[in-house]
Amino acid sequence: MANLKRGMAETHLHINVSSDYLMLWEKTTNLAIWKEYIFNPESKFEGQDYVLFHLSVYRCAAAYFLEYEAWKPGSEKFFPEIFPELIQSMQKPDAGKWETREEKILYFEEMEKRCRKYMGEIDVLKMREKDILSYVLYERYEELDTSPEYFFLAKSLGYIRESQDIQYAKLFLQYIRIKNTFFSKIFQRNIVQGLNWFQNYFSKASGSFRRGITQERRWDYILKTQVNNNALKKLEFRMSVDTERKFYDENNPLVQLELQKEILREIGKFLSHYRKYIHGKEDAPTIGIVLHFNKRKSLDNSSGYFCWRRAAESQIYNTQHKIALRRKCVNIARAIAVIRNEIPYLDEYLVGLDAASDENAVEPWLFSPAYNEVRNRLYSDMVKAFGKDGKKIYKRIQNIGLTYHVGEDYRHIMSGLRHIDEVIEKYNYRSCDRIGHGIALGVDVDYWMENNRNVLMPLGEYLDNLLWVWGVVIENKYELPVSAYALEGKILEIASKIYCNMAGITVHVLYQAYQEKFKRNLNEMFWQQDEDFEKRERKDPSLGMACRYDAEPGTKESLWNVSKIICTYFCSIYEDKYNQVIWLETTEEDAKLLKTLQIYMMEKIQRRGIYIETNPTSNLAIGEIESLYSHYILNLNSLEEERPRHNLMVTINSDDPMVFNTNVENELAYMYHGLIHGGYDSKTTLEWIDKVRQYGLESSFIQKVKTVQEMEGEITIIEKAIENFMKR
């Protein structure tokens, strides 16, 4: 569409799967990569390798055949006499195999020899930079900027139509069948929805893409996919910030310095690669990196139950215990803040922080200290002075942007809405920060209820939901279709199933504990509680070391308080209690409450100027959405001008192009056609698409669109500064 040429931004893109099907297929059928892979003693072969290798040879041989042999007398003998193995392997993909690596190497060399005989003296290792068909046969078409695969497919179909060559047609159809089978294992449809189902496809796609090539070569494929979109002005890549380091000493400057260097190495390598890639180009999107934490199951009991009480610091740090994860994330966030301040211009390229993956595995309170730390002004300046071209210049340090995958995959809409509110409130979101997906905000409640008559949920999650709703009514004075008295009764009923002895427990105490677990420094509270436990154990050693507050018999004093409840969030015994499952039946009253809570959250987000990142194809595959023209984005930002329901600022992105076979341009086009199909007129739809396109540019954490020359100069300064930083 013409208005897309005015400029687009991609603000929700995971780098490991940000290439596309064509690039993945080009990589999979690249004989240079096969050669490196086969000769590498550490590579592991899978069952499909035998046929995929033959498919790669067939692709080259067939393309050569169409160019030079197809119309010659005796051409029907080309494949049976020269490449009989291809016919056998492609007709029976499961029949062949290689027994040893030596056999693979000899076999590859034989095939390479035959290819050279007909295609000339070629060195496959020189073909790593582009498709072999471009290198050998289709070089004259390169100025058309079209994939060699398309030329091969078009030439094959044209030859079959004109020649009626049945043998070639059979082989070509086998090529298409095997290719489709390969992609069917990577491309996710929306037959089965949910994040766990999606992660299976994500792993297969990213694993297949990484296999057999270096990180730098992967980046080439990724950049070729994204940078070739001339309308793309701002391009944010999300990269994992996970590190193998488990033990951090936040008071040791040398340990902190090593962590900063580790993060800088990865960022520096990518920026350097981007500078080299765009060199000589007239135009390229301005690049930005958003680092993200991975959400995962947090409490590690592989070495037996242990509590926050009795684990030494070194023992905690070498586990996935919640205490360790929170401190680890805080240290990483601090390192990000420091290096953005120390390295000139890095603040304009390392632009954001995110947390992604399994929403149901980790509640937002685990990451809240890290999100608050990354904007801590103790580690960054408003203005920084540094030397450039022999002069001292002053540069304003750009604030880091915050986004968070939330409200995307949830057991209950209420959980999704609560998570979104917790992120906004406890992460201290500002105007122009973003929510990743946020499906719970606009999903059709009636449609969801129809498909979720009964919901299984952990007791702890349900208790937090009730406490959050109670806080909306009592603390925020928002009118909801629910009785505060009824809420309090349900809260105490659920709490009794977790804490057993209810002495000292009130709704206010539970709510305060729910709020305060988002705070960072809980060490003093842990120390105080541990002292109290030790006194109790000295009186009665039979109580043991576990923090069983309900195990103290015969006392009249209040056993529970806010601090004790917070301690249970870090205890393996109470972890099991919180994870007890409750079966909830959804009712009409629930539907009214959920719809009102959606309005409450949308009003808050709209008032605060927060953007919602949507990904239409991804949302259809993961969320409970019926079709594009019933996509939740339309509930967030309505096309109805006369009676607009809500006017939240929304963006459209691609999320994982390799898994969903899309890009941001396609996603905008899908929404256009979906809306036209849904009955909207072309003028209204185009105006809405253009508004959302502009939101994308404005929401990007990349503040300025830069020329290639500007980026090359700034990244060069970053590289030199990183080199000096590494000498510390």
Amino acid at 538: R
| pLDDT value of residue 673 | 87
Question: Are 572 and 301 within 8 A, CB to CB?
Answer: yes
Question: Are 247 and 23 within 8 A, CB to CB?
Answer: no
pLDDT in tens, 559-606: 888 998 998 888 878 888 999 999 999 999 999 999 999 999 999 999
Question: Are 293 and 367 within 8 A, CB to CB?
Answer: yes
The CB-side HSE value for 557 (13 A sphere, CA atoms) comes to: 4
Residues contacting 695, CB < 8 A, separation 6+: 611, 649, 650, 651
| pLDDT value of residue 241 | 81
Q: What number is the average pLDDT over the span 657-661? A: 75
Higher pLDDT among residues 216 and 46, named by residue: 216
Place of tokens 């996509």: 631
| pLDDT value of residue 195 | 53
Among the ranges given (33-42, 109-118, 549-558), the one the predictor scored with the smallest mean pLDDT? 549-558
pLDDT in tens, 436-469: 999 999 999 999 999 899 999 999 999 999 999 9
| pLDDT value of residue 218 | 83
- What gap in Å lies between CA 146 and CA 144, rounded to an integer? 6
What is the DSSP track for 462-531?
HHHHHHHHHHHHHTS----SS-HHHHHHHHHHHHHHHHS--TT--HHHHHHHHHHTT-S--HHHHHHHHH
Return the bridge partners of 161, or none: none
Residue 196 DSSP code: H
- What gap in Å lies between CA 220 and CA 622, rounded to an integer? 29
pTM attached to this predicted model: 0.88
Percent of residues in the chain assigned helix, strand, coil, to nearest 5 = 55, 10, 35
pLDDT in tens, 132-186: 787 778 878 877 778 888 899 999 999 999 998 898 999 999 999 988 888 877 7
| pLDDT value of residue 205 | 59
Residues contacting 186, CB < 8 A, separation 6+: 24, 201, 204, 205, 208, 658, 659
| pLDDT value of residue 5 | 80
- Give Rg (Cα) of the chain: 29
- What gap in Å lies between CA 510 and CA 410, rounded to an integer? 23
Question: Are 237 and 259 within 8 A, CB to CB?
Answer: no
- Here the tokens at position 710 are 């500007």
- What gap in Å lies between CA 654 and CA 615, rounded to an integer? 5
| Residue 207 predicted with pLDDT over 70 | no
Max avg pLDDT among 216-220, 426-430, 446-450: 426-430
Q: What number is the average pLDDT over the span 316-324? A: 72
pLDDT in tens, 292-318: 998 876 544 433 345 676 555 666 666
| Residue 194 predicted with pLDDT over 60 | no
- What gap in Å lies between CA 642 and CA 598, rounded to an integer? 21
What is the DSSP track for 349-402?
TEEEEEEEE-TTTS-GGGTHHHHHHTT-TTS--SEEEEEETTEEEEEEPPPPEE
Among the ranges given (196-200, 503-507, 528-532), the one the predictor scored with the smallest mean pLDDT? 196-200
Return the bridge partners of 290, or none: 238, 352
Phi, psi for residue 309 in degrees, rounded to 5: -75, -50
Question: Are 365 and 518 within 8 A, CB to CB?
Answer: yes
pLDDT in tens, 369-427: 999 999 998 888 888 877 776 677 888 899 999 999 999 989 999 999 999 999 999 99
Strand pairing report for 391-396 and 383-388: antiparallel
High-pLDDT (> 70) share of the chain, %: 84
